[in-house]
Structure 1
Amino acid sequence: MIKHIVQPGDTVYALSNRYGISPNRLIIENELTNPDTLAIGETLLIVYPKQTYIVREGDTLLSIADAHGVSWLNLLRNNPNIADREELIIGEEIVINFEDEKNYSISVNGYAFPYISMDVLRKTLPFLTYLTIIGYQILSNGSIDNIDDVEIIQLARDYGVASIMEIFTFTVEESIENNAFHTILHDTALQDILIRNILTTLRSKGYYGASIDTPYILPDDKYLYVEFIENLTRQLNREGFLLIATLLPSTFEVATGITYMGTDYAGIGRATNNVIYNLSYDWSNPFELTKDALSFQTITQAIANASTLVPPEKLLLGVTSIGYSLILPYIPGTTVTTFINHTNAVNLAREFGIAIQFNETNQVSYLHYSEGDLEYMVLFKDVNSMAAYPDIIRKYNLSGISFWNIMYYFPRTWLLFHSQFDINKVLPPI
C-alpha cells in the first residue's frame, strides 16, 4: 500500500502511469467524486490487486466468491463500488484479493443514528464487527427512551454485523450533580427496573448486546458505578448478551493525564466484557476543544496509559471520523465547533483554491482560510490522519477500533484498515 499526497499538476491518469495501476481502480478505491480535479494536499491510497476476475454473463457475487474460495463480504470490501447495486456488469473487473499481507485480526465498531442513509450503511457494514446504534437515554425512573431502529438492526444482521444498543445517561442540559444516573446508582430498586428494561429491549429488537456511555461519574459514585457495571454485565451475559462500557475522557484529562476521580478504569475494565476508550469529540458538548488540538504524542500516551489499566484484549480504541470547523480566534467556552466530513472538507479546498495541509505534531489535516471578514480553521480526519492508528493497535495489542461515527462513507479509511487487518465477525452473514 502506498500513500500519495497530491501535488500541483497531478492527475488521475498521471498517477495511474506512475504507480502502474488502472485509473478506474484509483477512482474506485479512493471514491473520487471529481477525478478531473484533485485537491492539492489530498491523500490518496494506492493498493495493488493480487488476483482479479472479469465478470461474465450469469455471474453473481456469491458464485464468484465460491469459485475463488473467499467470502462475499470480502469481495464487497475489495470492491465497494458494487455494494449498493443489485447486479454485476458484464466485463467489469472484480478484485479477489490484494497483495498486502495481514497478520492481525481486529474488531471494528461504528456508531450510527437510526436515520443513517441505507446506501451508506450497506457500503460500510462489510467492514464492521459491531454497529452501535444511538441511542437510548436512561431516565431517572429507570425507564429508557425508544427509537426506530428495527430496519437497520435487520440490515446489519444480513451482513453478519452485531447490533449494539447504546445507552447514555447524561445530556448537556442536565447539571452534573443532578443527572439521572446519579439517582439510579443510589437506588437498587431503580437499577433492577433499568436492567429489566434493557433486557426487554435487547430481546425484543434482536440486539447482540449493549454499550453504556457515562461521560462523567461523581467521585462519591465511583464504586457504585463499578458495582452496577458488574451486575449489569452478569445479568446480560447470563442471557447471552454482550456489555461494552464506553469511556469518554475529556480533552483536559487527555492533555494533563489527570483522570476524573469518579472514573475507575481498572474496575470498569474488570467488570465488563469490552471497553471503548473513546478519544473522539464529546458530541454532547459543542464547546469542548477538539482533541485534534493536542499533540499526537499526548494522544498516544493516553492510549498507553489506558492499556495498562484495561486489559488490552478488551480495549477498542475510539477515534473520530468527523472534522471540525472553527471561527478564529478560538475562545474556550464560547467558540462553537461545527462538524464537517472529509468529502466536504476536500470540496472546500477546491472551492477556495487552497492546499490541504498536514500538522505532523498533531497528525491532523487542516485548512486555514478567510471568507469576508471571518477567519476559519478546519481540522479533519483523512487517511493521512488515520495512518498511525494501525501501528498503535499492534503496538499495544488492542482488540480493535471504534469509529465516531459512520453517518457518511469514508472509503480510504476503510481501505487503510482492511488492507492491514482481518475483520472479526461474531455473527455469520445471512
Structure 2
Amino acid sequence: MQIHIVQNGDSIWQIAQQYRTAMNQIVLLNELTNPDVLVVGQSLVIPEPGHDYVIQPGDTLWQVAQMFGVTVQELAVANNITDPSLIFVGQMLINPYITHTVQAGEYIWGIAQRYGISAERIIAVNDIGQPGLIFPGQTLRIPVSAKPFTEVNAYITQVDNQGAPGVMRLGRYLTYLSPFMYSVRDDGTLTELPDQPVLEAAKANNVAPLMVVTNFTGGEFNSDLAAAVLRSSEVQEALISNLLTTMREKGYAGVNFDFEYVYPEDRRNYNNFLRRVVAGLHSEGFLVTTALAPKENADQKGLLYEAHDYQAHGEIADFVILMTYEWGWAGGEPWAIAPINEVRNVLDYAITVIPRDKIVMGMPLYGRDWNIPWVEGTTASTLSPKEAVQLAAEYGAAIQYNETYQSPFFRYTDESGQRHEVWFEDARSVQAKYNTVKEYGLRGVSYWALGTPFPQNWPMLQSNFRIRKF
C-alpha cells in the first residue's frame, strides 16, 4: 500500500492509472463521499493490486480467497478475521502471499534470500518434492514478510447499540476495547454503564474488554473524589470487591484506571492502591492497567502530572497507556493534537523508567477547528479526519503539512468572514506515529476514541503490524 498526496489537476482516474489499480478500490478504501472532488494536499491510501483488496458490495471471503488463490482459512488468519462472515465494505484484505515467476538460473535458496524467508518455507508452501525441481516460468507462492506484532487498545464513548456496529466493523484491528467509563463513588461503589452491546461485539471479534474506572463526576475529573478513594483502605476494599463482581459478570479481561488531576500528596497513595488492586485481581487472571498524563520528566509540575508516578506504575501495572495527545486542546491555541516531536519527548523520558514492552502510546482519531485569531476563553470544535477533508473541500482550502509536528492542517474563511485553522490526522501523520512505535520498541498503541470516522488509519495500521489478540 502507498500514500498519494493530491496535486493540482489530479483526478481519481489519473491516480488509479498511475498506481495501476481500480478507481473504486481507492474510493472505497478512503471512503470518498464525492470522488470528483479532491483537495490539494489531501492524502489518499492506495491499495496495491494483487496484494491488497478492498471489499466491495456483495463480496464474500470465499470469493476474495479464490481471487488470491488461497484458502479461506489462510486469508482469515492473515487478516485477523474471527468469523468469515464478518467482512465489511471498504475494509482492506491483505494477500498472505505474493507470486514469483522463476527465471532461468534461479534456485530456491536464492529466491528465499531475495524475499528474506527460509527455503524450507517456500518448499512447504509450494509443495515442492525436491528443492532443485523448479523451472523457468514456474509460479511460486512466497509468504509475505512477517510484520511485527503490536497490541491495540481503543477507548469508546458510545457503549450502547450505537457503538456496537463500529466495534463489529473494526474489531479485527483491536486487542483491547475500553468502554468509557465507570466512575467510582466515594464509598467504593461504581456507576452503571450500558456496555453490553459493545461487549458482545468485542467478544465476536476476539477483543478483550478493559473496564475503565475514573474519578470523573459532575462533568469533570474530581481531585477530592480521587482522594476519598486513595486515602481510605475501607473504600479501596469495597472498590476492589465491586470491580471483581462487575468484571466476572460482564466478561471483562481487566481494568484500566484513568484517575486524573489527583492531588500531588496522593502520589504514594495511588501507587499503594494499585499494588492492592494487583494483589486482588491477578490471582483471578485479570489485567491491571493505567492511563497516564504525558510527562517529560519525573518532576513535571501541575495537578495533571505530579501524582502520576511513571516508574511505580511501570513496575506495578501490566501496562500503561500514555495519553500522548491533546497538545492542541479545545480550550487552547491552534496546534497539532499530537505533534510527533512532543510525543517523542514524552517517550524519551518514559523509556528510562518504564519497560518498553509495558508502554502503550496514545493516538488521537480526531482533529480540531479553531477560530483565528485565537481568543482566550474560546473553544475549538472537534471533528473527524474525514470531516476535516470535507471541510477543506467545501471552502476550497489547500491542505498543508507541518514536518516538525508531522501533522496536516489548513485555514479557511467561513460565510460570516470568520477565519479558521484546522489541525487533524491523516495517513502521513499516523505512519509517523507507527514508525515511532517500531523505533522505540513499544508494546502498542491506544486510540482516543472510536466513533470518529478515520478510514485511512485502519489500512495504515494493517500495513505496519500484525495485531496480537489477547
Which TM-score applies when normalising by structure 1? 0.86
Opposite residue 222 of structure 1, the aligned amino acid is: R
Q: Secondary structure at the match of 1:419?
A: helix
Opposite residue 300 of structure 2, the aligned amino acid is: I
Q: How many percent identity over aligned positions?
A: 28
Tell whether the 8 Å contact from 2:186 to 2:229 is kept in structure 1 after alignment: yes
CA, structure 1 residues 32+256, in 2 after alignment: closer, same or farther (shift >3 Å)? farther
Q: Deviations over 1:401-430 (max 9, x none)?
A: 01101113422111111111110011xxxx
Match of 2:300 in 1: 258
Return the offset for 1:25: 1.8
CA, structure 1 residues 37+256, in 2 after alignment: closer, same or farther (shift >3 Å)? farther
CA, structure 1 residues 205+391, in 2 after alignment: closer, same or farther (shift >3 Å)? same
Gaps (5+ residues) in structure 2? Answer: 99-143
Opposite residue 95 of structure 2, the aligned amino acid is: I
Match of 1:269 in 2: 314
Opposite residue 39 of structure 1, the aligned amino acid is: V
Return the offset for 1:19: 1.2
CA, structure 1 residues 198+288, in 2 after alignment: closer, same or farther (shift >3 Å)? farther
Q: Secondary structure at the match of 1:226?
A: helix
Quote the Cα distance in structure 1 between the aligned partners of 2:399 and 2:450: 23
Q: Secondary structure at the match of 1:298?
A: helix
Larger-gyration structure (1/2): 2
Quote the Cα distance in structure 2 between the aligned partners of 1:258 and 1:151: 40
Match of 1:7 in 2: 7
Quote the Cα distance in structure 2 between the aligned partners of 1:182 and 1:288: 28
The reply to whether residue 377 of structure 1 matches residue 376 of structure 2 is no
Opposite residue 196 of structure 1, the aligned amino acid is: S
Tell whether the 8 Å contact from 2:298 to 2:310 is kept in structure 1 after alignment: no
Q: How much is the aligned-residue C-alpha RMSD, in angstroms?
A: 3.2
Match of 1:20 in 2: 20
CA, structure 1 residues 156+141, in 2 after alignment: closer, same or farther (shift >3 Å)? same
Return the offset for 1:342: 1.1
CA, structure 1 residues 97+319, in 2 after alignment: closer, same or farther (shift >3 Å)? same
Quote the Cα distance in structure 1 between the aligned partners of 2:156 and 2:334: 20
Match of 2:109 in 1: none
The reply to whether residue 42 of structure 1 matches residue 87 of structure 2 is no
Quote the Cα distance in structure 2 between the aligned partners of 1:335 and 1:67: 56
Return the offset for 1:227: 0.8
Q: Deviations over 1:288-332 (max 9, x none)?
A: 557626753232121121122211101110011110111122244
| 1:382-393 alignment, distance < 5 Å | 382-393=426-437
Match of 1:287 in 2: 331
Opposite residue 337 of structure 1, the aligned amino acid is: A
Opposite residue 19 of structure 1, the aligned amino acid is: Y
Match of 1:421 in 2: 465
Quote the Cα distance in structure 1 between the aligned partners of 2:289 and 2:239: 16
Match of 1:72 in 2: 76
The reply to whether residue 336 of structure 1 matches residue 340 of structure 2 is no
247, 250, 258: which one aligns with 1:202: 247
Q: Deviations over 1:325-366 (max 9, x none)?
A: 11122244x121221001111111111111111112222111
Match of 1:125 in 2: 171
CA, structure 1 residues 286+295, in 2 after alignment: closer, same or farther (shift >3 Å)? closer
Tell whether the 8 Å contact from 1:102 to 1:419 is kept in structure 2 after alignment: no
Q: Deviations over 1:121-165 (max 9, x none)?
A: 222111111111011011111111111111110111011111111
Match of 1:88 in 2: none
Comparing 18-27 and 149-158, the one that deviates more? 18-27
Quote the Cα distance in structure 1 between the aligned partners of 2:54 and 2:426: 31
Quote the Cα distance in structure 2 between the aligned partners of 1:407 and 1:353: 26
Q: Deviations over 1:168-200 (max 9, x none)?
A: 113575685x52111111110000001111111
| 1:39-188 alignment, distance < 5 Å | 39-51=39-51, 61=61, 67-72=71-76, 74-75=78-79, 83-84=87-88, 96-97=95-96, 101-113=145-157, 114-115=159-160, 116-171=162-217, 178-188=223-233
Which TM-score applies when normalising by structure 2? 0.79
Gaps (5+ residues) in structure 1? Answer: 86-92
Higher relative contact order (CA 8 A, sep 6+): 1
Opposite residue 368 of structure 1, the aligned amino acid is: R
293, 306, 309: which one aligns with 2:350: 306
Provide the aligned length of Structure 1 versus Structure 2.
410
Quote the Cα distance in structure 1 between the aligned partners of 2:195 and 2:24: 36
Tell whether the 8 Å contact from 1:101 to 1:419 is kept in structure 2 after alignment: no
Q: Secondary structure at the match of 1:3?
A: strand
CA, structure 1 residues 45+130, in 2 after alignment: closer, same or farther (shift >3 Å)? same
CA, structure 1 residues 51+355, in 2 after alignment: closer, same or farther (shift >3 Å)? closer
Match of 1:29 in 2: 29
Opposite residue 325 of structure 1, the aligned amino acid is: D
Q: Secondary structure at the match of 2:95?
A: strand
